[in-house]
Structure 1
């Protein structure tokens, strides 16, 4: 290969790194606390960069670290171009980026464009400016109904429960899809659009490699009068013309963002959080002319079932091929019950996992959950998705085999979904956001010098990093080895299914001969005498044990 060809190949690889990446989500307030105030921070993350490098990930995704009143875990942003002083400074951010890049780890940051915090300077200006002002035009203010406007404009409900309208002192109402502290922006306003372009450039200029776009399907809205009732709204199909969700005109916003991303070399990447009605609708967000990639959440709503997994895998690989993107695989994140717990509970029976935290309401670990089964199935599912084409998003703590934490009293909870009784069955999402255990003892299991901002249960000690790092059979050791091997084995964006003769066993091969065999059942699956070596997982009498996954690969692929 000539020098020019080598440079071209390196540039192409740098531009498409995200297509096959293993990305680790960090919830900053619960990762590591450097200053001892009980809240995780950026210097805390920097202190654990070696841990991230040893884990073997390609990138991190940082959930919001911006100034925030924490009305919704940081997703109520008061300033999009700064760091919450409780989490550090812009200098701390720059040092963190440098430390990660030095170790070959790229950085994706969360962008929250649907709404601001009610403490954002724009909203405070809107409150002071009054009716008909230019400041209020950036948001969705409307007059109320009733004799004197004392009733909200519609009977719509917030995601977190209660009305989606809040009245201000002068009698007008503003729309908030989420908490009252999160007023929605009006994306028809040119100043709103221009300001977010400035934000994207601000972080890109500081070295950020990509962006995760929060509720990417909600930005644009049609508030033409008369506004429909809640009952009428629910009957409107989400096919591109719904007043509030997944409108076709949102892609005009992302086309403009793509032009900004492409100003950089390599281009900045993005991934959409888009809960939409069909795969075809989701593919629009993954367009090369738009964000480039969109989360595939289908496995979050699937049971530990071979047929369901195969359908999800086949459908999403087909969608990725049609859109020219690569798909994503997700089993846990900051909004859902941890998959080690989900898989230890009764089947979903069609209930979406976003509303599945009631499963731990009656007890949670150790009561009400088959801990061993959940852990076993979680490891098997993780090895399966790490063997698939596309990128995989991991959530902090899953590499330790953490379960959902149910031992949180009402007085200790923080999630607005809990206080308002809306989505997530009233319990909220605090159980998957409890700070990580790094050591087996200490005030917060090594998270920091003070008690953590959410209570850590005693059983965290057995899952501490220092404990699992010394155990070759631990979940942490498995993740480290799987991610190491994945870098050696990952190739192409195709797979071929191998029929197994059993409905509860999936087997596929990648273009280089790497095979993945996942047994979803309880009876061993006889593998026979493979010509290649089992490089990950363990056989029992030449069979794949129940609820487990093995990787098989030609020796020459391992160097």
Structure 2
């Protein structure tokens, strides 16, 4: 089932080294960069993932979330032929592909603004972004058409950018139309604020991003306070009982986990992620210990959206040990698919240690983690050690 997919999340414009700003002054703007991802597909499989979650690939002004044309591949990444080539390569390997759909707002220079389908308000104070008129039937038809177009081209689902800002009745209407043709398409909504499960249910989203768990994991490791993780896991369980959470410890909008807690504790973070309910995603480079902190201004995200080398062979050997630990932990997850819908309960905790069990009718495992005197973790079941690191 697609909900059991473990995603490798890539920000294509950054990963392929495409120019983000001052595009008109760059003679190397247009290129077939999307094909640069093909050498990484076997790497994705070897890591243990079976899904490719792509950030924006449609024609845009700059960073991709300022869309100009939802039907056209960004010229910095290539064209339809490049897209079809990538989809075919993924299908050959059994890789599900999810696209990032920005349907809350568009670039202020998008034709829809002149047509009156957007533009009365800026999105969250960003003057270059115009919020769509979600109550307009033309907008509903347009978004439905876009989603169907790319599903027909071979993708498995959509990540809906800032889904929490869009009225739930818009999603209910649009997704009902989409599901008439693609009932099994996976719809993941980006949710940061509010009642995650309620937003998912009201909008008929299949899954939502679990930022609360992300915060609880890194913060508890950083502050050596597993009481916070205990609270976050209880909240997570309440959400997971009602909808499918997309769990993560890194994405294109947050500081790298290795920069937040260090490379050693990043292994603990991943172990926790792989031992609780949800649909996990791994942000490209985290499996190599990439570091990066967001800053301010136009280049705020550059350090967390870096270019990849031409092929995995050109990666620094310094990250290989982290990659190996990722393979082991993702392997535990893949061998225990029941974890997607598991129940988790904390058994014991101190500031520096935590033990919890995750279980369902199909299995059970226990995780013991500690940060002192040095970080370590053990995952076991029925007296058998499934994973151990310290």
Q: Is TM more than 0.5 here?
A: yes
- Gap change, CA 1:495 and 1:187, over 3 Å in 2: closer
Deviation at 1:315, TM superposition (A): 1.2
Deviation at 1:291, TM superposition (A): 1.3
User: Whole-Å Cα distance in 1 between the matches of residues 122 and 68 of structure 2?
Assistant: 17
Alignment equivalent of 1:58, drawn from 50, 65, 78 = 50
Distance 1:178 1:54, change over 3 A: farther
2:5 aligns with: 21
- Superposition deviation, residue 78 in structure 1: 0.6
**Matches of 1:114 and 1:498 in 2, distance apart?**
38
1:292 and 2:164 matched = no
SS at match of 1:402: coil
Aligned to 1:537: 388
1:489 CA displacement = 2.1
- Secondary structure of 1:80's aligned partner: strand
CA contact (8 A) 2:104 2:132 kept: yes
Q: 1:193 aligns with which of 119, 124, 140?
A: 140
Identify the residue that residue 314 of structure 1 maps to in structure 2: 234
Give the Cα separation in 1 of the matches to 2:246 and 2:112: 35
Would the alpha carbon gap of residues 177 and 430 (structure 1) be closer, same or farther in structure 2, given more than 3 Å must change? same
Give the CA RMSD over aligned residues.
3.0
1:270 corresponds to which of 170, 183, 187: 187
Residue 265 (structure 1) shift? 4.9
Larger Cα-atom Rg: 1
Provide TM-score, normalisation by structure 2: 0.85
* CA 1:288–1:191: 2 relative to 1, 3 Å: closer
- 1:34-80 alpha-carbon deviations (Å, 9 max, x no partner): 9x95988210112321111111112121100111120xx11111101
Cα distance, 1:530–1:197 mapped onto 2, change above 3 Å? closer
Deviation of 1:274 (Å)? 2.0
Name the structure 1 match of 2:347.
499
Cα gap change, 1:399 to 1:494, in 2 (>3 Å): same
In the TM superposition, what are the counterparts of 1:412-451 in structure 2 within 5 Å?
Answer: 418-419=297-298, 428-437=300-309, 446=314
What residue number does 2:276 align with?
388
Instruction: Return the offset for 1:260.
Output: 2.9
> Displacement, 1:203?
0.9
Does the 8 Å CA contact 1:24/1:61 hold for their aligned counterparts? Answer: yes
State which of 306, 328, 331 in structure 2 corresponds to 1:481.
328
Pick aligned residue for 1:259 from 145, 154, 176 = 176
Distance 2:327 2:258 in 1: 18
Task: Classify 1:252/1:400 alpha carbon distance in 2 versus 1 (closer, same or farther; 3 Å).
Answer: same
Match of 2:371 in 1: 520
Q: Answer yes or no: is the 8 Å Cα contact 1:489–1:514 preserved in 2.
A: no
Partners of 2:32 and 2:172 lie apart in 1 by 35
Cα pair 2:14 2:305 within 8 Å, conserved: yes
Cα deviation for residue 496 of structure 1 reads 4.8
The 3-state SS of whatever aligns with 1:337 is coil
Shift of 1:282: 1.9
Residue 66 of structure 2 corresponds to residue 82 of structure 1: no
Unaligned runs of 5+ in 1: 1-13, 127-134, 142-173, 220-249, 344-373, 407-414, 420-426, 447-463, 539-544, 546-559
State whether residues 307 and 503 of structure 1, in contact with CA within 8 Å, keep that contact through their aligned partners in structure 2: yes
Q: 1:260 to 1:91 in 2, by over 3 A?
A: farther
Give the TM-score normalised by the residue count of structure 1.
0.61
For the residues of structure 1 that align with 2:377 and 2:192, how far apart are their CA atoms?
A: 39
Tell me the number of residue pairs that the alignment of Structure 1 and Structure 2 aligns.
Answer: 370
Alpha-carbon distance in structure 1 between the residues aligned to 2:289 and 2:271: 13
Question: What secondary structure, in the 3-state scheme, does the structure 2 residue paired with 1:286 have?
Answer: helix
Determine the structure 2 residue equivalent to 1:138.
117
State the secondary structure of the residue aligned to 2:107. coil
Determine if contact 2:368/2:377 at 8 Å carries over to the other structure. Answer: no
Partners of 1:288 and 1:118 lie apart in 2 by 29
Q: Find the aligned partners of 2:143 and 2:107 in 1 and give their Cα distance.
A: 15
* Structure 1 residues 502 and 516: alpha-carbon distance in aligned structure 2, compared to 1, 3 A threshold: same
- After TM superposition, the structure 1 = structure 2 runs for residues 309-348 of structure 1, keeping only pairs within 5 Å, are 309-321=229-241, 323=242, 325-343=243-261
